[in-house]
Structure 1
Amino acid sequence: MKHVLTIAGSDCSGGAGIQADLKTFAAHGVYGMSVIVSVVAENTQRVIGTQDVSPKLIAEQLQAVFEDIRVDAVKIGMLPSRLVMETVVRELKERKPRNIVLDPVMIAKNGFPLMDCRLARTLADLVLPYADVVTPNIPEAEVLAGMRISSIEDMQEAARKIHGYGPPYVLVKGGHRCDAAADLLYDGNRMLWFTAKRIDTKNTHGTGCTFSSAIAANLALGRPIEKAVEEAKAYVTMAIEHALSLGKGCGPTHHFYDLYNNGLTR
């Protein structure tokens, strides 16, 4: 069995963050581990508050995992402060894990800032060079690239700019556009598009976390990057199509639709 680590914030409502990551790992048949960097009090409607974990405890969580269990891939989500970024990067430099997927989480689904956008340059300078894949959505790509994105050509230009920070692969997710749900993967040479049908639903809480975690799981399983993105997109599209109408706001995706629908194999 492959082992995948998530470094991210905790969502007590279970739809995003660490909870979504671990569900996604389990759905892909990999063993999930977690390092919590921030505890977020949120539900489908709003974020009530956050409490960051101390850099010392973050480092100790990372030590606990890496000294005992092989790590085949790492997904990084919310990094709320420069100190947290420095701590995570220091440990990654020492441990040198493969298949690092960075989801540059900046804003919650309801618009609550999970990272000060003034830290975007710090994230780009400190963390992006150590990621194998970076998966910004359009608002995040706009901040990282320092430009507005309103067309396919803009997505391509933003991908080039973000790639300049050092990650081998940049996946600009087009879900915030009004047309087809098309995502752009750029490796410094090729522009590859991944398109799926757009699903008319408000229940998309945790889609970014789920998508990036699915990419990490597929990379851990030995898929090449193009196949990892293709399969991750198919998975997140399925999870959105069967999203759960829980709560009064934007409900979560259904990570275990096939399992809940068909039951355990006997």
Structure 2
Amino acid sequence: MAEEPTCVLSLAGFDPSGGAGLLADIKTFEQHKVYGLSISTANTLQTENKFYSVEWEKTESVLNAVNVMLSSYSIQVIKIGIVPSFEYLSQLVNHIKNKNSEIKIVVDPIIRSSTGFDFQKTINKKELISVFKNIYLITPNMQEALLLTNTADSKEAAKQLSEHCNVLLKGGHNEKEIGVDYLYTNGDCIELKPTLNNLSAKHGSGCVLSAAIVSNL
């Protein structure tokens, strides 16, 4: 009898250029030898250089799709990418946890695209904290960490966020320490230095990283 594949699920946006979102996630899952499932939270029109538009999927449609996937496959980890609001995120997270409290949820809190489009205009800090308590890991870059808190220091922001869930602070935007990430977990901060020197910007790099993490959880 064939061994049942390890299944992971991505809830993210569709990027027709393939650099970010669901297509990037599925390609990453494939590389890490897990069976990737996907549900679209948004249809975007973008390239690696420019963002044109976004059409959000209704919460009800996404939740119905989640029900089908959870009832049809043994899913251990779920990744959530772009969403229009933290209220939307809260509904997704609460619904998933009510269905299966053991599922680990990883959130890539994409607030602004690499090409400068703002996905979320306002952030309710109290609502954010209530959501993060049910999340296993968030993977903000430095700017996102600052936007999610009331501090001007990204490391302090990550530390504050880690009071509610594990935090991987991505260092791709750190001009002083390019590519150096910081993992905040169980009250500790672990520095993760890159092994490559020729680092360059890539559209959708955050999607690929979070999908790789999900694959290995």
Q: Distance in 2 between matches of 1:191 and 1:48?
A: 38
Deviations 1:73-123 (A, max 9, x none): 11111111345224302311212242211110111111111222x125266
- Which residue number in structure 2 is paired with residue 76 of structure 1? 80
Size of the aligned set, in residue pairs, is: 210
Q: Distance in 2 between matches of 1:138 and 1:120?
A: 19
- Which residue number in structure 2 is paired with residue 254 of structure 1? none
- Which residue number in structure 1 is paired with residue 65 of structure 2? 61
Secondary structure of 1:104 counterpart:
coil
Give 1:188 deviation, angstroms: 3.4
Aligned CA distance change for structure 1 residues 83 and 143 (closer, same or farther; 3 Å):
closer
Structure 2 gap ranges (5+): none
Post-superposition, which runs of at least 4 consecutive aligned residues in structure 1 deviate over 4 A? Answer: none
More strand, by proportion? 2
- Which residue number in structure 2 is paired with residue 102 of structure 1? 107
RMSD (Å) for aligned C-alpha atoms: 1.7
Alignment of 1:54-203 (within 5 A): 54-95=58-99, 96-116=101-121, 118-119=122-123, 121=125, 124-149=128-153, 154-155=154-155, 157-164=156-163, 166-167=164-165, 169-178=166-175, 179-196=177-194, 197-202=196-201
Q: Distance in 2 between matches of 1:126 and 1:111?
A: 28
Amino acid in the other structure paired with 2:114 = K
- Worse-superposed segment, 136-145 or 90-99: 90-99
TM-score, length of structure 1 as denominator length = 0.74
- Worse-superposed segment, 174-183 or 86-95: 86-95
More helix, by proportion? 1
Structure 1 gap ranges (5+): 220-266
Aligned CA distance change for structure 1 residues 83 and 132 (closer, same or farther; 3 Å):
closer
Alignment partner of 1:210 out of 208, 211, 217: 208
Deviations 1:152-210 (A, max 9, x none): xx51x22211112x21x1111111011341100111321111111343434x0010000
Identity of aligned residues (%): 29
User: Is the CA contact 1:100–1:131 (under 8 Å) kept in the aligned structure 2?
Assistant: yes
TM-score, length of structure 2 as denominator length = 0.90
Secondary structure of 1:191 counterpart:
strand
